[in-house]
Amino acid sequence: MTNQRIVAHFKESAELKMRAAEELAQPIEQAVELMFLALSNGNKIMACGNGGSAADCQHFAAELVGRFERERLPLPAMALTTDSSILTAVANDYSFQEVFSKQVQAFGQSGDILLAITTSGNSVSVINAINAALERDMRVVALTGKGGGTVNQLLSDADVHICVPHDRTARIQEVHLLTIHCLCDGIDSALFGGDVDD
Ligand SMILES: O=C(CO)[C@@H](O)[C@H](O)[C@H](O)[C@H](O)COP(=O)(O)O
Ligand SMILES: [Zn+2]
């Protein structure tokens, strides 16, 4: 019984990934172009999200500041999910809904990118960060699912919406992580060309 449940998770995840590849390849490519252009111009990428998506933000920033698969100079990416003093001060003195938007207002500059990760597309802390980014003339790459929720109403053609075609949070997160690795690989390929050399 347990074994069947495990196999069912693997099957559902694999099937979704194959299906999502068709739908998401184009927006992921657009996101790589947007990110590469920003990094080439000396801008940075900031990432925000809650719970498992907070971990995704940190994973992404680590691969840009450290490395993905190839040796290169550190690239400027930061997770807005890590400074417990900022997070607790803003949540305590204002509201949790402002924990990311305050940081976008503090650190964001025109031309920077916000990587906004929310499986529902409805987390208010992430929605507020998107609005703060757009107000600062930043571009937004949103990773969502479940139809995209409120995020649909905020983005324009200058932004990129990568919406995983599924309703289950865990499955959506699994595709978000794969997408993050595609973004890292795309940025490295834009820097160095197509082949991984190790
Ligand atoms: O990882 C999981 C569930 O798989 C949870 O921690 C999940 O990320 C949290 O419930 C989040 O608060 C969900 O927020 P969101 O994806 O709807 O923006
Ligand atoms: Zn999770």
Model pLDDT for residues 90-126, shown as the tens digit of each residue: 999 999 999 999 999 999 999 999 999 999 999 999 9
Cα separation of 13 and 171, whole Å? 6
Whether the per-residue pLDDT at 1 is higher than 70: the answer is no
Helix (H, G, I), strand (E, B) or coil at 77: strand
Tell me the average pLDDT across 16-35.
97
Domains of the chain in sequence order: 2-192 (3.40.50.10490)
Taking the C-alpha atoms of 87, 51, 107 and 115 in order, what is their torsion angle to the nearest 10 degrees?
A: -170
pLDDT at 2: 72
Nearest protein Cα to ligand 1, atom 10? 51
What is residue 19's predicted lDDT score, i.e. its pLDDT? 96
Q: Cβ(144) to ligand 1 under 6 A?
A: no
Question: Residue 170: CB within 6 Å of ligand 1?
Answer: yes
Residue type, 87: L
Q: How far is the CA of 192 from the centre of ligand 1 (A)?
A: 35
Across the range 144-149, mean pLDDT stands at 98
* Residue whose tokens read 């690239």: 75
Our CA dihedral for 120, 60, 116, 193, rounded to 10 degrees, sits at -110
Question: What's the average model confidence in pLDDT over 66-95?
Answer: 97
Checking if the pLDDT of 3 tops 60, the result is yes
* Mean pLDDT (whole number) for 68-82: 96
Contact criterion met (CB below 8 Å) for 187 and 64: yes
CA–CA dist 121, 127 (Å, integer): 8
pTM for the structure as a whole: 0.97
- Confirm or reject: Cβ of 118 under 6 Å from ligand 1: yes
Q: How confident is the model at residue 193 (pLDDT cuts 50, 70, 90)?
A: confident
E strands, the chain, in order? 45-49, 77-79, 113-117, 139-145, 160-164
What percentage of the chain reaches a pLDDT higher than 90? 95
What is d(CA 166, CA 180) in angstroms, rounded to the nearest whole number? 17
Confidence of residue 189 (pLDDT cuts 50, 70, 90): very high
Which pLDDT value is given to residue 195?
A: 62
Q: Tell me the average pLDDT across 73-101.
A: 98
